[in-house]
Copies of this chain bind each other. A is one copy, B any other.
Amino acid sequence: DIKDAVLAFFRRKQAEVGSLAGCRVLVTAGPTHEPLDPVRYLANRSSGQQGFAIASALADAGANVLLVSGPVSLSPPAGVKYLVCETAREMYALVMESGQFDVAVCTAAVADWRPAHEAGQKIKKIGEADVAPPLTLVPNPDILAELSTKSAGRPKLVIGFAAETENVIDHAKAKRERKGCDWIVANDVSPHTGVMGGQDNQVVLITSDNVEQWPRMSKADVAKQIVERITVWISEER
């Protein structure tokens, strides 16, 4: 539509003159779906909104943005290169095949595990016995950890996200150490917060030497603040 066309025009200009002009940024977003069979899958409640808002804000600052998303019901932001996938393995492949980035912002709620076997046909109830099929899970590739520990071509700044429901800061600090990323943006996604699928977010930014509690604000404002921080970091780096 017209709004998108204007936005895309503005963002093309920003790509020449914006504060992040020339900066290649990867954003991952959304959930992944992990099939059990042709009909059933494991999912999570990520809506993709925070990641899409960050991709938009990055494009506003003139960055060259690749947004890789799992299944969501959102339209891709204007002026952003957009790839969609379903599973963690597909997202991993898209990210690893997409070349080098200056910054990676990994907001996607990548499934930690997937069913060990994807049945080729719909799994049927076994007779009258109502016996449930065994469901064995295996770990998925860890996109954030792989990006963070790349021996060649690691993004200069890797930002992970941590969706927690308890001990948010402790879990997020541990995640930052474990994955090897530079910053973690942590949030409490307990149902009572309304964060998953909602318009607002309340995050904690965790860096190597700091823990910052941000006030509750819209996901668009969280995105602007994160991009502001990235811009400062990049300018100090240059």
Contact = CB atoms under 8 A, between A and B. Distances in A.
Interface string A4-20: 00000000000000000
Contacts of A165: 37-39, 121-122
Interface residues of A, number: 39
A137 B139 contact: no
A137 to B, nearest CB: 4
Interface SS, A side: loop
A124 interface: yes
A124 B112 CA distance: 9
Contacts of A178: 128
A93 interface: no
B122 A163 contact: yes
A204 interface: no
Interface stretch (A40-48, A50-58, A95-103, A226-234): A40-48
Given A39-B45, A40-B43, A112 B125 contact: yes
Interface string A102-127: 00000001011100000001101100
Contacts of A171: 124
Contacts of A215: none
**List of 9 A-B pairs having minimum Cβ-Cβ separation, nearest first:** A132-B137, A130-B139, A122-B165, A113-B132, A43-B43, A121-B165, A135-B135, A40-B44, A121-B166
